[in-house]
Structure 1
């Protein structure tokens, strides 16, 4: 959610005339995240988030916007995309695909409580259940092929220790077949900054633009890695137990998933270590660009490589 494409007051005012949202009152760029340009937009009839997609193209986006509609219409706490006067959720602004979605109340959390972890675990399980009835399909753009290609790109610039870690983990991940595990719609990026809370109550799950069809267990691993580990890479066992139990209250795991769990945790940590390392080594230009330190996910990956996770 960085600002790569600037939008002027006049441009935004013209853009909003195609939506039944009333006159523009105020807007501001959002300086967090790394993929798209985002603005908070206030109009006479509500509060919104405008997203300009920097990497995704027009053909990719109906899957994500349709999924958001599918979930929100079934009571899931996700943002509902706004349809313009022509009935479309996808439009364009400044030569970028663009979408306007309703802004949800609440804020992300830095230090989640056990109740917040319970809320997220239950919501993720609910997402996986509701996603089974979504007709759209999208392959994981950051699956095994992407991990291999990105590793090859960063290896020439990585230091010797990092390069050795990357090569060894690629070899280890060759034994993992995520396609053999239960599949469905996954969020794939349910980090703490993509969940909104008012006090202890979950009010929104946002940023579905990495969503795809993949192993459901992988999505749980992505979420656990962010919510249940400290900045030094150590495990917070109470958060872990609370979140995984809440998830299983909505969707039980198979014996195959339980057996695959250690390597799936590593795959999830490896994916974010590689993406952050790539962005660190190949920074993008933008008015406000937030690049996350890859060291945090290197510590989590190394922890998974050395220690077995608690039993599910």
Structure 2
């Protein structure tokens, strides 16, 4: 969500006119994130009310790939999942061109991020994630997880010159472990479908609810890493962000248990999912360690860009290897 491509007020207004969304009041670049160009777009409509949107220009994804992501958001929103739906023109088109880049405009969610979540926040995210997975079961388009195993294989050799010996050894051994896991019959038993694949704290919004500390989830956003993969990987990505101590990478087991319980209140996990959760927690840590190393050492230029610290997910991966965690007690998995 860095600003790689500058958008003028005139270019933004042209898209608003095409979509009949009103007159531009303000246009502000969003500096967080590292993949696409994003702007907050406020405009005044004929009723005199201010309406707020997010304009995204896609820097890596192609016009051929983008319908998967945009139509997925539309599909989920139509089924009651709290996600921003892309705005369509009179012909139903939701993908446009701005400043020479593929672009879309979606509603801006209410509220703000919760960067210090407690069990109550984790409970809401877990339940909504399960609803999202079930709602996507009949989604007809297919796109693999573009930051999955195939990408790890491609990128890891490019990263090795930048790593210390112990880091290179860990990267090699964990990649080999995940390759062996992915080839196994037990991994093949895991249920799959469209996943968010990047549902961190800064991709979820909450607004004040009834009573102090009772914030209400208002939506998931930034689906541009989504793809078809195991649902368990999506759960693991969430656990590794929502349910950890950020300093040490340690999993906060009480919070993780609440998250998984809330998820299972909507969609119970299979026996295979329970057994492989520790392995997928490692996979999720590896994915973000690799991507953060990539963004740090092989970056693109942007007018607003701050790479995330790779060492965080190195710590998380080492923690998950040293201290595997099951949502159920070991005896229940036998």
> Secondary structure in 1 aligned to 2:140?
coil
- 1:134 alignment counterpart: 139
**TM-score, normalised via structure 1 length:** 0.97
Structure 1 unaligned blocks of 5 or more:
none
Partner SS, residue 247 of structure 1: helix
Distance in 2, matches of 1:103 and 1:59, equals 25
Distance 1:133 1:15 in 2: 31
Q: Secondary structure at the match of 1:107?
A: coil
Q: What is the rounded CA distance, in whole Å, between the counterparts of 2:155 and 2:67 in structure 1?
A: 26
1:158 to 156, 163, 172: 163
* Displacement of 1:155: 0.8
Mapped partners of 1:213, 1:173: distance in 2? 17
Correspondence 1:296-307 to 2 at 5 A: 296-307=312-323
> What pairs with 1:132-211 in structure 2 (closer than 5 Å)?
132-177=137-182, 178-199=187-208, 200-211=215-226
Number of equivalences: 312
Which piece of structure 1 moves more, 298-307 or 133-142?
133-142
Deviation at 1:86, TM superposition (A): 3.6
Is 2:18 the partner of 1:2?
no
Partner of residue 89 from structure 2, selected from 79, 84, 89 = 84
Secondary structure of the structure 2 residue equivalent to 1:214: strand
TM-score normalized by structure 2?
0.91
Structure 2 SS opposite 1:175: helix
Instruction: Give the Å deviation of 1:149.
Output: 1.1
Range with greater deviation from structure 2 (175-184 or 30-39): 175-184
**1:115 counterpart (81, 95, 120):** 120
Q: Deviations over 1:204-238 (max 9, x none)?
A: 10011111111111110011111111112112122
Q: Is the 8 A contact 2:260 2:327 kept in 1?
A: no
Structure 1 stretch displaced more, 52-61 or 227-236:
227-236
- Any conservation in 2 of the 1:179–1:215 contact (CA below 8 Å)? no
Mapped contact 1:81–1:102 kept (Cα < 8 A): yes
Provide Cα deviations, 1:113-135, integer angstroms capped at 9, x if missing partner: 21110000000000111111211
What value does the CA root-mean-square deviation take over the aligned residues? 1.1
Give the aligned partner of residue 280 of structure 2. 264
CA, structure 1 residues 89+179, in 2 after alignment: closer, same or farther (shift >3 Å)? Answer: farther
Distance 1:235 1:217 in 2: 17
On the 8 A contact 1:20/1:85 being kept in 2, the answer is: no
Q: Distance between the aligned counterparts of 2:91 and 2:130, measured in 1?
A: 35
What residue is the counterpart of 1:225 in the other structure?
240
